[in-house]
Amino acid sequence: MTQGTVRAAIGDSEFDRDTAVTRRAPGIYDTELSAGWTIINAVNGGYLLAVLGRALADALPHPDPFTVSAHYLTASQPGPAVVRTDVVRTGRTLSTGQASLFQQDEQGREVERIRVLASYGDLDALPDDVRTSAEPPPIPPVEECFGPQDAPGQSPVQGSTAITERLWLKLDPATLGWALGAPSGKGEMRSWFGLADGRDADPLSLLLAVDALPPTAFELGLSGWVPTVELSVHVRCRPAPGPLRVAIATRNLAGGFLEEDAEVWDSADRLVAQSRQLARTALGR
């Protein structure tokens, strides 16, 4: 996202190609999960949501995800996958669908990776009325924030960090203690967010944005994979062009499980997405 570089367009970008689905039959879509979106030992959960979201946008009469609820079943791996969709209900303003992503295991058996319920609508058809008390997160200017590319040594993350090359992340130094071996103890993570090729945000890429930052658990002093059990996201309006800001907060780590509340703001200072996930730590296994 450096000024002056050629920016990829919505519909013709790495993200669009890597989330593309091909309709084989009504309600059945083939896709190829890209190794470019892996983190630690699995394909990123937000990227998976975007793949499922794209299949549902084709299957349902409404274009935009308003709310998507996902339950993560098994860890996805790069490679071929099949998405099956089911139209649950179609209404005038909203339609609801279900989708599952499947891959084959080493024995050739089909394994379900993730199942979602989603309600779609048309963001452009909503009235302009806004009554909000929400305030944008306190993230310093980009030039005072740091991305994975700014790190002096080896990444503190054990395993794949491929996804960081697809993203443009500039993290708030106040939430970067974990990367320097000094986690703050607060369950907060804040970052500027974009796609590395400069593609602007759209409702589908918001599904990625809510689950693409380092886990808040790192700032709570935990390390290792923090797999998502469930994630629900609401897309509240179409994002304006330009960088996003993402703020994630965890208040309650208990019994080995924690929630992550994310909000995404666009360059016009509008709250464009909200999500909450339940994740588990090594303690919760």
Indicate left, alpha or beta for 108 from its phi (over 0: left) and psi (-120 to 50: alpha): left
Question: Which residue in 264, 259, 258 sits closest to 276, CA to CA?
Answer: 259
Q: Does 237 bind a second copy (CB under 8 A)?
A: yes
| Shortest Å, Cβ 113 to a second copy | 10
| Range 45-104, binding a second copy (CB under 8 A) | 66-67, 69-71, 73-74, 88-89, 93-94, 96, 98
Decide: 169 and 196 in contact? Cβ < 8 Å: no
| Range 194-223, binding a second copy (CB under 8 A) | 220
| Range 95-114, binding a second copy (CB under 8 A) | 96, 98, 112
Distances (CA, A) of 85 to 122, 149, 274: 19, 38, 24
Q: Does 131 bind a second copy (CB under 8 A)?
A: yes
Burial of 115 per CB tally in 10 Å (0-12, 13-18, 19+): middle
Candidate list 82, 87, 174, 229; residue touching a second copy; CB under 8 A: 229
Decide: 81 and 25 in contact? Cβ < 8 Å: no
| Shortest Å, Cβ 204 to a second copy | 18
Q: What residues make contact with a second copy under the rule CB under 8 A?
A: 66-67, 69-71, 73-74, 88-89, 93-94, 96, 98, 112, 115-119, 123, 126-134, 186-187, 220, 229-230, 232, 234, 236-237, 251-257, 259, 270-271, 274, 276, 278, 280, 283-285
